Amino acid sequence: MQTVTLNNGVEMPILGFGVFQVPEDETERVVTDALAAGYRHLDTAASYGNEAAVGRAIRASGIARDELFVTTKLWIHSGGEDGTKRAFDASMQALGLDHLDLYLIHQPFGDYYSSWRAMQDLHRQGAIRAIGVSNFHPDRLVDLLEHNEITPAVNQIETHPYHQRMTDQQVMTEHGVQIESWGPLAEGKNGIFSDPVLTAIGQAHGKSVAQITLRWLIQRGVVVIPKSSRPERMAENFDVFDFELTADEMASIATLETGVSVAFDHRDPAMVSWLNSRRAG
Active site residues: 48
Cβ(141)–Cβ(172) under 8 Å? yes
Give the DSSP H/E element, type plus range, for residue 38.
Answer: none
Q: Helix 81-95 vs helix 112-124: angle between axes, to the nearest 10 degrees?
A: 60
Q: What angle do CA 210, 3, 179 make, to 5 degrees?
A: 70
Question: What is each CA distance from 140 to 11, 55, 72, 121, 151, in whole angstroms?
Answer: 25, 32, 21, 21, 12
The Cα–Cα gap between 267 and 279 comes to 20
Nearest to 108 by CA among 151, 137, 150: 137
Measured at the CA of 207, the angle between CA 202 and CA 210, to 5 degrees, comes to: 80
Cα-atom radius of gyration of the chain, to the nearest Å? Answer: 18
Compute φ and ψ for 102, nearest 5 degrees.
Answer: -150, 130
Contact call for residues 26 and 230 (beta carbons, < 8 A): no
Contact indicator for 146, 119 with CB cutoff of 8 Å? no
